[in-house]
Amino acid sequence: MDIESARLLAMAIAIGVGVLGPGIGMGLIAGRGLDAIGRNPETENSVRNTMVLALAFCESLAIFALVVSLIIKFVK
């Protein structure tokens, strides 16, 4: 296996594993947030604001994994 093939494989593994956790986390956050709003509709605004903030933090981890995979690909 030459170096370019190893680099592409490492990039694919980094982005694949790196977005697995945030993807699961985003699903759990959205599901639990909607469940909380369904149980107590009066708190919709505060639950929604907190849910959007948590989703943004979770998405930043996925973007970090993308940046790491691009560094693996382009830095020699």
Sorted by where each starts, the structural domains of the chain and their CATH numbers stand as: 14-74 (1.20.20.10)
- pLDDT digits (tens), the chain, 76 positions: 898 899 999 999 999 999 999 999 999 999 999 999 999 999 999 999 999 999 999 999 999 999 999 999 898 7
Angle between helices 20-39 and 3-18 (to 10 degrees): 10
